[in-house]
A and B are shown apart, each in its own frame.
Chain A
């Protein structure tokens, strides 16, 4: 089994980095525009109607959750649309597999790449929040490795969908049935204790909830509670997801 894995995945990661570098400005602009429009639209607009949420201005509550949601979106889009395009449309994966690179290297390269790009998306928002003087504590730096793990988690889940997808249209199911409801339930927009107890239990089964539970306190400058538990859920989801994505990729491409 070990023979299947190598550092050759770095060449796959670097391939994607080179494409990104050509379009980096547009890409980061895209990473920022959408979340910031929501953030300030809802944060100021809706926030002015609310006194405090969880003891803080709504803008700050929403901002600290949005960092995590944007990271998830970054990883998800890359692992779905971009990876599918390389796998199915451009046949880039086929070309790579003819070189001394295994399918495991390709999938792991895509996985780490999607998480890297997601980290850029999350970090870009943190920088804007810092410039706007909404972030004050150096603890926020600890959110960067967490965001990378959040990226790995959703990149793995995205790659499962990609290796199952017959076409781009298939991704709509994933967004409608999983990503969008999860974003609503995971504490990005409002505190979990607003939900009925049964739904709260369900919310704690969603990986994004654990990401938000780690990242929000760090952005606000306090240590999160239950760090090991949250990390374990994210890490286990990431690794189980990768394992399944690898299995599905072999079934799809090596036959």
Chain B
């Protein structure tokens, strides 16, 4: 079976700046694949190349079996896209948005209208067919964007930061719907910088930075292989000073961020005993998670 999307040795530069620097990955049918990376890592550029919206300097892309960009339009027939910034049509109602969008796929109005109740129901928007887009909340808009992306019954769904800017309730609803789609056999490619989202949804993850993949595997594999299993976070005014002077004796790797020291280690017992005798330092002992992996791979500096 051909993969829904495969990318090999993709390169794209703007001026001297190589935004995508030899990226290769392939999706398996029916999986959820996450592209993770800090701002400016090349995620959106990669997606735009995959859709044939920008031309890469080199590399090959096959999307739903079609070569991109040569047959990008045909490839997009079987892909649904939820963009990072909502671009629903504000001149129309919810139902009109779906009809108009379906026409871009060459679908007959009657065929689209027949699917509207199911799509609106899936989006948790049943009964709002005639509602104006301007009256919808952010979460409702995102769900309508998801419904719009399903209007052509795509085999592959691409979501660019699907829950950015949503409240927890709205995020959980989106996650639930994406899991339903996976259960129906759809393939999903998503970009995110929410690690809990990636850990919850993705079967496999590629962490990209500087236009390169710097870690790839299932969330569990990445945590097991790339990072120490335990983390002790130490807070307080004196935490940086303590970390600089003493933490090294207990923990092979210590990172300081503001007034917090992060100690990564295999066995936390002796460190915790030591910390119990330090007044003024508060501690949190927890298993390592995907965010720790992400920060280890991409560093703690701010990306703007």
Interface residues of A (CB under 8 A from B): 3, 6, 8, 11-12, 14-15, 18-19, 22, 90-92, 94-102, 254-255
- A11, B88: Cβ atoms under 8 Å? no
Bound complex: CA of A190 vs CA of B21, how far in Å? 63
Contact among A8, A90, A96, A98 for B51, CB-based, below 8 A: A98
- B105, A100: Cβ atoms under 8 Å? yes
- B104, A11: Cβ atoms under 8 Å? yes
Rounded to whole Å, the gap between the CB of B235 and the closest CB of chain A is 42
- B88, A95: Cβ atoms under 8 Å? yes
| Total count of chain B residues near the partner, CB < 8 A | 26
Bound complex: CA of A101 vs CA of B51, how far in Å? 11
Bound complex: CA of A96 vs CA of B100, how far in Å? 10
For the residues of A in contact with B, the DSSP-based class is helix
**Please, which residues of chain B bring their CB within 8 A of the CB of A94?**
83, 87
For the residues of B in contact with A, the DSSP-based class is loop
**Please, which residues of chain B bring their CB within 8 A of the CB of A19?**
91-92
**Please, which residues of chain A bring their CB within 8 A of the CB of B90?**
90
Rounded to whole Å, the gap between the CB of A119 and the closest CB of chain B is 21
**Please, which residues of chain B bring their CB within 8 A of the CB of A3?**
73
Interface centre among B51, B55, B81, B104 (most CB of A within 10 A): B104
Rounded to whole Å, the gap between the CB of B249 and the closest CB of chain A is 53
Interface centre among A14, A95, A254 (most CB of B within 10 A): A95
Rounded to whole Å, the gap between the CB of B50 and the closest CB of chain A is 12
Bound complex: CA of A92 vs CA of B87, how far in Å? 6
**Please, which residues of chain A bring their CB within 8 A of the CB of B85?**
91
Rounded to whole Å, the gap between the CB of A37 and the closest CB of chain B is 28
- A11, B103: Cβ atoms under 8 Å? yes
**Please, which residues of chain B bring their CB within 8 A of the CB of A99?**
76, 101, 104-105, 152
- B53, A97: Cβ atoms under 8 Å? yes
- B104, A18: Cβ atoms under 8 Å? no
Can you list 11 contacts pairing A with B, beta carbon distance less than 8 Å? A14-B103, A95-B88, A95-B89, A98-B51, A98-B76, A98-B81, A100-B106, A102-B73, A254-B53, A254-B55, A255-B14
**Please, which residues of chain B bring their CB within 8 A of the CB of A22?**
91
Which 10 pairs across A and B sit closest by C-beta, in order of nearness? Answer: A99-B104, A91-B87, A95-B87, A98-B81, A11-B103, A100-B76, A19-B91, A100-B73, A100-B77, A101-B104
Rounded to whole Å, the gap between the CB of B41 and the closest CB of chain A is 18
Rounded to whole Å, the gap between the CB of B147 and the closest CB of chain A is 13
Contact flag A8-B106 (CB < 8 Å), given A98-B76, A102-B73, A255-B54: yes
Contact flag A18-B51 (CB < 8 Å), given A11-B103, A95-B83: no
**Please, which residues of chain B bring their CB within 8 A of the CB of A6?**
73
Bound complex: CA of A15 vs CA of B101, how far in Å? 9
Contact flag A18-B106 (CB < 8 Å), given A90-B87, A91-B87, A98-B81: no
Q: Does B74 contact A (CB under 8 A)?
A: yes
B82 nearest CB neighbor, chain A only: A98
Bound complex: CA of A56 vs CA of B87, how far in Å? 53
B71 nearest CB neighbor, chain A only: A3
Q: Does B96 contact A (CB under 8 A)?
A: yes
- B74, A100: Cβ atoms under 8 Å? yes
Bound complex: CA of A179 vs CA of B22, how far in Å? 49
Interface centre among A11, A14, A94 (most CB of B within 10 A): A11
